[in-house]
Amino acid sequence: MVHISDGILDPLLWESGWVITAIILAYTLSKMKIEDVPKLSVITAAVFVASLIHFQFGPTSVHFILNGFAGVTLGLLAYPCIFVALVLQCFLFQHGGVTTIGINTINMGVPALLAYLLFKYGMRFDLGIKQKEILFGTLGGGIAVALAVLFLSIELATTGEEFFEVAIFVATAHIPIIAIEAIFTGITAGFLATVQPELLCRR
Amino acid sequence: MAAIRVHDLNYTYPDGTAALRNVSFVIEEGESVALVGPNGAGKSTLLLHLNGILHSTESREAVEILGETVDPKKVHKMPKKIGIVFQNPDDMLFMPLLGDDVAFGPINLGVAKEEVKRRVKDSLDLVGLAGYEERVSHHLSGGEKKRAAIATVLSMEPEIIALDEPTANLDPKSRAELIDILRRLKGAGKTLIIITHDVNAIPELADRVIVLDKTVVADGTTREVFSDTETLLAAGLEVPTIMQFFEVLQAFGYPCDVLPLSVEGAARNLTQTMEEGAGHIHLHLHEHTHREVNSALGKYRHHHRIAADSGHP
Amino acid sequence: MISEIDRYAGLSSPIHRWDPRLRIVSILALIFSVVLLYNLTLVTIGMIFSIILVYLSKIPFSFVLDRLKLVFVLVLPFFLIIPFTTMGTDTGVEIARFYGITLSYRGIEAVGFAAMIVLKALTSVMLIFPMIGTSRMDITIKALEGLHLPNKLVQMFAFTYRYIFVLDDEFVRTERSLASRGFKRRGDLYTLTTVSKAIAMLFVKSYERADRVFYAMRSKGYSGKVVTLHEFDSGRQDWINAIAVFGFAVLLQVAAMSGAFSIYGGI
C-alpha cells in the first residue's frame, strides 16, 4: 500500500533512493554481527508474514505495515529487515516496483529508524506510569506510518503537478491505517514487555 | 577413552531457575544410551551442553567429549565429534533445498567438494531418502523431515550422535523406519544418546537408561532402570507396556522370573515357558488373583493424582 | 496463503535454460530501461518485447495476468485522476466539445501520460516472471550470491525465504485455534487487539525458534558463512541471450535520446 509502483516517480527520485538505501544498508549491515543473521532472518520472515494479514476494519480492508514495529524490536537492523522483506514481496507477489525498491525502503525504513530512536530515548524518561512500552509503542507505530505516508506524498507531489491530487488521495486513504498501526504497535509492545522483554530494542 | 564424560554439571537459566544440578555420568564409546525424564527435566538443555552451545559459568570444565574438554569458543569444531539432532526438524532444515542442508555441515568442516557430494548421497541413502537432494524441505512430510534432520547430522560423520525425541509425533510406519535407522547406526558402532518418552522403543534402541530430573536420579542397564518402578514413577515415567502386561500375567500364575521388555522378548519368553511346560501354559484364577491383578495394574498408575491433589470438585 | 512465483520453474524453455545470473542482470537492465522511458511509443515497444519474453518462457499468461490485475488496481487511480485534474485546471487548446465535456489537447496529452505510467508499471511486473519465475527461488537466491551481493544479505534472503513458509503455517494454526474458540474477525477494536496479540505471539514464537535455529546451525559448524555446492556456468548461448536483452534495453535508451518516436513533444 505504501510502496509505490514503477514508472510513477521522477527518475531522479528513485535513482537517489537507491543511492541512499545502499549507504544506509551498508552502514546497518556493518553494525550487524554475522551471528545475528539467522535471528534477524526469522524475525524478518515474521514481519513478512504478518504484513500479509488482511482484515476488515470499519469499511476498508487493511493490512499491517509494521515498519514502526520493526524499528521498536530490531533497532538499526530494521533497515535490512525492511529491505529484504520488500525485495521478497516484489519477487513473490509483485507488490511495489522493482526500480522503486530503494526509495520504498527509505519510505518505510527511515521512519522505522526514527520510531526506534523515539522508543529508545522515550523509555529513559521517568513518566511515573507503569507501562511506558505501550505509550511509546503507540507513538512509534503511529509516527512511523504517518512519516512513511508523508514521504510518499511529498515524493508524488514533487514529481509533477499532475500528482498533487493523487498525493492527497493517498495521504487521506492512510489515516485509518496510521491509527490501526499505532494501536497495534502499542499493544504488541506492551505484550512483549511482559512476555519477552529482550525482543524490545532498548540498546 | 570415554565418549562422553560429564562431571558435576550445573546450569541455571538466565531467569534464575535451576536447570541442571550436579549432573554426572560417563558414556563409553559404542554405547547406546536412552535419556529419559519428565518434561522440563533439562534433557534438551543437557544435550546442548554436549557440544558447548550452552555452557555454564559455574562448571566450566564439566563436559568432556572423546577425552577433550568442551570449549564454548570452539563450537564450530565440535560437529566432527558429536552431532545433535534437534527435536523439531524445521529448526534444522533451514536451507531451501534438502541437499544444501545435508551439505551444510561438511562444508563448514572444510570437507573437499567431491567428498561432500559423496557424504550427502550416503547420508540420504542411509535414512531412506535417496535422491532427495533437490527436494524443497517445506514440502516433506513430518516423517521425512525427521529423517532428513538426521541425514544433516550424519553427513558430518560424527563419532557420537545425540538425538532429541527422534520418534515423537510420528505415525507408526515412520516411527518404525526411524527406529530401524537408529538400530543401524547402533550396529555401525556409533555412540548414541537418545532423549525419548517412547519407553516401548527403548529396549530396541538402548543398552542403558539414564533418568534425568534436573539431576541424574537413576543410571543403569535398561532392565535395571525399568525394574526400579518407584524411581520411575517418582519421575513421572512408565515402563514398556509389554512389561506391565507380563506383570499382570504373573498375577494369573504365569511363571516368569525376568519380565520381557519388548514384543520379541515376550515371544521368546512365551516359547520358552511353553517348551518347559510341555506345550502348555497354565494360568489360574484364585481368590487373591483379583487383588494381585489390581495391585499389578495400580503399580504404574499416574492418574488420580491430579484429582486427589487439587482437592476441589 | 503464500502462492509461489516459481510454480513454473520446472518447465523447459530457452529462458529457463539461461544462466540465472545473466538472466537476472539482463532483464533487470530492461526493467530499468523501460521505467526510464518517457515516450509512449517506446514504452509500448518495450511492453511488446516483454510479452515476447513471457511467451518464450512458456509461463502461462493466465498466471501472469492474475498478478497483473493487482498492479492494475494499484495504478488505476493515477489513470483516473490525472486526466481529469489536468483537464479541470487548464483546458489548453480546445479540440472538440460534446455534450458539455471539453476534450482538449492537454487532456489527450494527460491521458497519454497516464497510459504510459500504467504500461510501465505493468511491463516491469510482467518482466519479473521471466526474470525470477523461470528458476526455483533458491537457485535465484544463489544467483544473487553469484552476482556478489553482500554475503549477509544473501544469507538473509535464503533464511527469510525458508521461514516465511514455516511461520505462515504457524500463523494459520494460531488463527484456527482462535476460530475454534469462537473468534471471528469483525471490523472492531476487539478484533484489532486480538489479531495484534496473535501476531505478537507469532513474534515471540519466532524469536524462540530463531534461537533454536541458530543453535542447530552452530551444531553443524556454522561460523558465519554459508556455502553451497551449486555451480553456475554460462556458455555461448547464455551470452547471446544476454546481449540480445541487454542490447534491447540499451537500444530503447538510444532511441529515446535521439528523439525518435516522440509523438507528444512534451512527454
Report the run of H or E that residue A188 belongs to, with start and end.
Answer: helix A175-195
- Dihedral sign (CA B291, B294, B300, B306): negative
Q: Which residues contact C186 (CB under 8 A, 6 or more apart)?
A: A56
Task: Determine the pLDDT at residue B75.
Answer: 81
Q: Where are the alpha helices (DSSP H) in chain C?
A: 14-17, 20-36, 40-57, 61-89, 105-132, 137-146, 151-180, 189-219, 236-258
User: pLDDT at position C267, please?
Assistant: 41
User: Which tens digit of pLDDT belongs to each residue from C50-98?
Assistant: 999 999 999 999 999 988 887 787 777 667 766 665 544 444 555 555 5
Of C31, C125, C192, the CB nearest to A183: C192
Rounded Cα distance between C200 and A72, Å, is 13
Short-list A63, A74, A192, A198, CA closest to A134: A192
- Distances from the Cα of A127 to the Cα of A189, C13, C35, C206, C257, angstroms: 17, 65, 51, 32, 61
Min distance C124 CA to chain A CA atoms (Å): 7
Q: With 0.90 as the threshold, say if the pTM is over it.
A: no
Among residues B82, B85, B78, which one has the least CA distance to residue B101? B85
Cβ-defined contact of C200 to A195 (cutoff 8 Å) = yes
Query: Given CB atoms, is B107 within the 8 Å cutoff of chain C?
Result: yes
* Interface contact B117, partner C, CB < 8 A: yes
Cβ atoms C59, C50 nearer than 8 A: no
Q: A194 — phi, psi (to 5°)?
A: -90, -35
pLDDT at residue C126 tops 80: yes
What's the pLDDT tens digit per position in C166-223? 888 888 888 777 777 767 777 778 788 888 888 888 888 888 888 888 888 888 888 7
Interchain proximity C219–B113, CB inside 8 Å:
no
Q: What is the pLDDT of residues A90-106, one digit of tens each?
A: 888 887 789 999 999 99
**Distance between CA atoms of B179 and B170, rounded to whole angstroms?**
11
CA B242 – CA B262 distance, rounded (Å):
6
DSSP-derived 3-state class of residue B211: strand
* CATH code, A11-199: 1.10.1760.20
Q: Which residues of chain B have pLDDT under 70?
A: 303-313
Return per-residue pLDDT of chain A as tens, 203 residues. Answer: 467 888 888 888 899 999 999 999 999 999 888 878 887 898 899 889 888 887 666 666 677 888 999 999 999 999 999 999 999 988 888 877 899 999 999 999 999 999 999 998 888 887 777 778 888 999 999 999 999 999 988 888 887 776 777 788 778 888 888 998 999 999 989 888 888 888 887 65
Residue C211 contacts B, CB cutoff 8 Å: no
* pLDDT given for residue C88 in this prediction: 45
Q: Which of C34, C125, C192 sits opposite A184 (nearest CB)?
A: C192
Which residues does chain C have within 8 Å of residue B53's beta carbon, measured at their own beta carbons?
Answer: 215, 218-219
C101, pLDDT greater than 70: no
Per the model's pLDDT, the better-predicted residue between C128 and A168 turns out to be C128
Q: Where are the beta strands (DSSP E) in A3-154?
A: 54-57, 60-63
CB contact under 8 Å between B109 and C223, yes or no, is: no
Q: Which chains touch A (3 or more CB pairs under 8 A)?
A: C
B308, with CB counted inside 10 A (0-12, 13-18, 19+), is exposed
For the cut 70, the answer to whether the pLDDT of residue C102 exceeds it is: no
Distance CA A72, CA A199 (A): 9
Please state, rounded to an integer, the average pLDDT across all residues of chain C: 82
| Touching chains, C (3+ CB pairs < 8 A) | A, B
Mean pLDDT, residues C136-159 taken together: 88
Among all chains, which residue has been given the C-alpha cell 553427513?
B155
Confidence at residue A185, expressed as pLDDT on a 0 to 100 scale: 92
Highest mean pLDDT among C153-157, C193-197, C225-229: C153-157
Cell numbers representing residue B132 in the block: 532427495
Q: Are B24 and B12 within 8 A, CB to CB?
A: no
Distance from CA of C233 to the nearest CA of A (A): 23
Q: Are C202 and A73 in contact (CB under 8 A)?
A: no
- C-alpha cell at position C265: 513533444
Asked if residues A102 and A19 have their Cβ atoms less than 8 Å apart, the reply is: yes
Per-domain residue ranges for chain C?
Answer: 20-258
- The SS3 call for residue C64 is helix
The secondary structure of A33-64, three-state, reads CCCHHHHHHHHHHHHHHHCCCEEEECCEEEEC
Domain ranges of chain A: 11-199
Q: Which residues in chain B are closer than 8 Å to C226, comparing Cβ atoms?
A: 95, 104
CB contact under 8 A, C164 and A165: no
Phi/psi for B195 (5° steps) reads: -80, 130
Report the half-sphere exposure of B120 (CA within 13 A, side-chain side).
24
Per-residue pLDDT band for C265 (boundaries 50, 70, 90) equals very low
